[in-house]
Amino acid sequence: MTMHLIWIFPAGFLTCYVILSLVATYLVQNYPRRPVDDRPDWGKITDVRIPAVDGGFLEVWRIEPDTPSSGIVVLAHGWGRNRGRMVNRARIFGRMGFTTVLHSARDHGGSSPKKYMNAMKFCEDIETVLAWIDQPVILYGHSAGAGGAILTAARNPDRIQLLFLEGSYADTEESLLSLYKWFNPLFGKWVGPAILFWMNLFYNHSLDKISPAKLAGQVTSPVLLIHGKKDRRFPVEFAYRLQSSFWPGQAELFVASEAGHSDSSLSPGYPEALQKFLNQHREIWNQPQ
């Protein structure tokens, strides 16, 4: 009887741990959506739905400036948000004379449902928008949208003139563990590794392959990294590591000294950093289409 108990307790604990980690793996991929209710208040606004790759649809805003357009900027939001999250950033580009295009990824905002969204699916949605626009663009991604954006730039170098990556990360698995530890240190330490194990099985061991640091060498456009110095989800060290993954001189880094993960665009110096980077590469984006 004693020997049975010796085996029962560890087996029971392991069974509970496996079940808990599987449930957690499902839940973290279906994290509650928190859409932002912010709407464009400048230029000529077109609000449309365009077909997605799976038969669903994406909600899209296209905002034309009141003056002749300088080019097109596509802005991709992060996990759990929607196109409204990017309005503040788009407004700045709009004031500079750019056409801005904002979409909600599938399963976000008012776009169609889609289970198990990830960086690859964010990329698919960005590519859908690029096909709809049908001309080269400046691409801006925030957080998970930055992961989708760099994947898009690596797969479509001829379509991306400049690349902006805000609140990005270097390694996919490292970033997920960082998120879990930010949510709860004990959860991140004890359950996080098991979640990554199940995700790697589910996604056929592709997490590492879509790490931004691994994709950097395939990106041909100039890159501006934007990161909050006080970012607790993705520490600023991630941005420095990602910068070093690009070709020498290809990527610049703007660190917002008082910002966290999502508020670099509200920091002093942010508009000037965008304008400076655009001016440095005017010969790339300022061409007649």
Superfamily of domain 36-169+211-285: Alpha/Beta hydrolase fold, catalytic domain (3.40.50.1820)
Q: What per-residue confidence (pLDDT) applies to 115?
A: 87
Q: What per-residue confidence (pLDDT) applies to 11?
A: 66
Give me the percent of the chain exceeding a pLDDT of 70.
94
Residue 43: pLDDT over 80 = yes
How would you write the chain as a 3-class SS string? CHHHHHHHHHHHHHHHHHHHHHHHHHHHCCCCCCCCCCCCCCCEEEEEEEECCCCCEEEEEEEECCCCCCCEEEEECCCCCCHHHHHHHHHHHHHCCCEEEEECCCCCCCCCCCCCCCHHHHHHHHHHHHHHHCCCEEEEEECHHHHHHHHHHHHCCCCEEEEEEECCCCCHHHHHHHHHHHHCHHHHHHCHHHHHHHHHHHCCCCCHHHCHHHHHHHCCCCEEEEEECCCCCCCHHHHHHHHCCCCCCCEEEEEECCCCCCCHHHCCCHHHHHHHHHHHCHHHHCCCC
Least confident of 97-106, 148-157, 159-168, 180-189: 180-189
- Mean pLDDT, the chain, integer: 92
Give me the percent of the chain exceeding a pLDDT of 90.
75
The whole-number average pLDDT for the span 145-156 is 97
Q: What per-residue confidence (pLDDT) applies to 10?
A: 67
Residue 7: pLDDT over 50 = no
Q: What per-residue confidence (pLDDT) applies to 274?
A: 97
Q: What per-residue confidence (pLDDT) applies to 157?
A: 95
Residue 2: pLDDT over 60 = no
Residue 72: pLDDT over 80 = yes
Q: How confident is the model at residue 287 (pLDDT cuts 50, 70, 90)?
A: low
Q: What per-residue confidence (pLDDT) applies to 9?
A: 47
The whole-number average pLDDT for the span 122-148 is 97
Model confidence pLDDT, tens digit, residues 187-232: 888 889 999 998 898 888 788 889 999 999 999 999 999 999 999 9
Residue 63: pLDDT over 80 = yes
The whole-number average pLDDT for the span 26-45 is 87
Phi-psi bin for 90: left (phi > 0), alpha (psi -120 to 50), beta? alpha
For CATH 3.40.50.1820, the residue range(s) in the chain are 36-169+211-285
